[in-house]
């Protein structure tokens, strides 16, 4: 076993973990799984006798993390291989760019464990990585062992005594996950996401879809994007999702439209959106 120390200030790591947003943490872990070419992602929420969240498990059948890649994956922020690679091994668009996804797991528990099976230099190996919220910068990477298990990663989080985890158990959590992954699931129908015992099925709650082209000027060049509006048969927060051409969400901003009873999500899909991660000026294209 070896210890990897994350080269970042503790308070910076705590801010990136966004521990007030467990639903955001689950979404980030789903994106990590999809970036690893998972076809199935399952989120299991274990509850105590009183209904409080005791443990969250996110399991996928993606390619896992190789023993050779574990150190790189956990030792620094901003060094993600996704910054220089635009597609996964299967040619899917990548969501992650900054290597921060692993930190958001701290929003789900005080103790975190990754169990990952991947094909590395020495064949198929299983590796276990663990961390504690009391020392967010330190990750313990166990010795990898040979295995014949299926590829994939299981992330387990437990031991956090916080009422904020209740956000995972209300219907709004399902609607937030549904709206974020709707374009991606439409693009890749073979992908299945199961949340708290039931499949995420955007088609089952879509009332109406509308698409139109939007043209705008960017650095003196006329660009074209697709504006897609989905009206839902469920309560949702009215949001504008800034997506790449494949429907991978880059950023989300509020719509601030007063329309009682009109539940919708707007998606702007533009091939160059990922180049502008963090640039919320794109959300001001009011026309």
For residues 227 and 133, membership in a common domain is answered with no
User: Which domain-ending residue is among 151, 168, 185?
Assistant: 168
pLDDT digits (tens, 9 = 90+) for 29-76: 999 999 999 999 999 999 999 999 999 999 999 999 999 988 778 776
Rounded Cα distance, 142 and 69, in Å: 13
Q: What is the mean pLDDT of each run of 10 residues along the chain (287 residues)?
A: 68 62 94 95 96 96 94 67 61 68 87 96 96 88 96 96 92 96 93 97 95 90 94 92 89 78 91 76 48
Check residue 137 and give its pLDDT.
Answer: 81
What pLDDT does 256 receive?
72
**Per-residue pLDDT at 99:** 56
> Is residue 200, in this structure, part of any structural domain at all?
no
In a domain, 88, yes or no: yes
Six-digit token pair at 159? 């031991």
HSE at residue 256, side-chain half, CA atoms within 13 A, is 4
Q: Are the C-beta atoms of 29 and 56 separated by less than 8 Å? A: no
- Residue 95 has a pLDDT of 79
Whether the CB-CB separation of 26 and 168 falls below 8 Å is answered with yes
Tokens of 201: 């099925």
> Does this model's pTM top 0.75?
yes
195 occurs within a structural domain:
no
pLDDT confidence of residue 81: 44
Q: Do 28 and 144 lie in a common domain?
A: yes
**Residues paired with residue 216 on neighbouring β-strands, in sequence order:** 223
Among 96, 85, 103, CA closest to 34? 96
Q: Which domain holds residue 211?
A: 205-284
Determine the pLDDT at residue 168.
97
Which of 103, 106, 99 has its CA nearest to residue 81?
Answer: 99
Both 17 and 74 in one domain: the answer is: yes
The reply to whether 152 and 100 lie within a common domain is yes
Q: Specify the pLDDT at position 283.
A: 47
Position 135 in a domain: yes
For residue 287, the model assigns a pLDDT of 45
Tokens of 161: 């005594």
Same domain, 143 and 280: no
Residue 286 makes CB contacts below 8 A (sequence gap 6+) with: none
Q: If you search the block for the tokens 């973990």, which residue do you land on?
A: 17
- The angle formed by the CA atoms of residues 7, 154 and 246, to the nearest 5 degrees, is 80
Q: Do 164 and 211 share a domain, yes or no?
A: no
Residue 191 domain-assigned? no
Q: Look at residue 183 and tell me if it is in a domain.
A: no
């Amino acid at each position: 076993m070896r210890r990897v120390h994350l080269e970042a200030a503790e308070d910076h790591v705590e801010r990136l973990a966004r521990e007030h947003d467990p639903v955001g943490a689950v979404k980030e872990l789903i994106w990590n799984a999809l970036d690893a070419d998972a076809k199935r992602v399952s989120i299991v929420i274990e509850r105590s006798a009183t209904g409080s969240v005791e443990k969250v498990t996110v399991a996928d059948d993606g390619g896992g993390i190789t023993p050779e890649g574990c150190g790189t994956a956990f030792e620094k922020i901003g060094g993600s291989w996704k910054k220089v690679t635009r597609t996964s091994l299967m040619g899917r668009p990548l969501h992650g760019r900054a290597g921060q996804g692993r930190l958001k797991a701290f929003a789900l528990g005080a103790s975190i464990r990754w169990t990952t099976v991947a094909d590395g230099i020495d064949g198929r190996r299983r590796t276990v990585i663990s961390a504690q919220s009391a020392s967010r910068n330190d990750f313990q990477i166990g010795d990898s062992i040979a295995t014949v298990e299926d590829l994939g990663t299981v992330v387990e989080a437990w031991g956090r005594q916080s009422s904020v985890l209740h956000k995972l158990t209300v219907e709004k959590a399902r609607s937030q996950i549904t709206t974020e992954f709707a374009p991606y699931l439409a693009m890749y129908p073979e992908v299945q996401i199961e949340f708290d015992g039931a499949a995420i099925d955007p088609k089952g709650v879509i009332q109406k879809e509308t698409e139109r082209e939007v043209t705008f000027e960017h650095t003196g060049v006329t660009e074209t994007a697709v504006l897609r509006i989905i009206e839902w048969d469920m309560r949702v927060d009215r949001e504008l999702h800034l997506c790449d051409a494949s429907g991978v969400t880059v950023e989300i901003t509020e719509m601030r439209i007063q329309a009682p009873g009109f539940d919708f999500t707007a998606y702007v899909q533009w091939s160059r959106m990922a180049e502008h991660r963090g640039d919320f000026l794109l959300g001001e294209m009011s026309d």
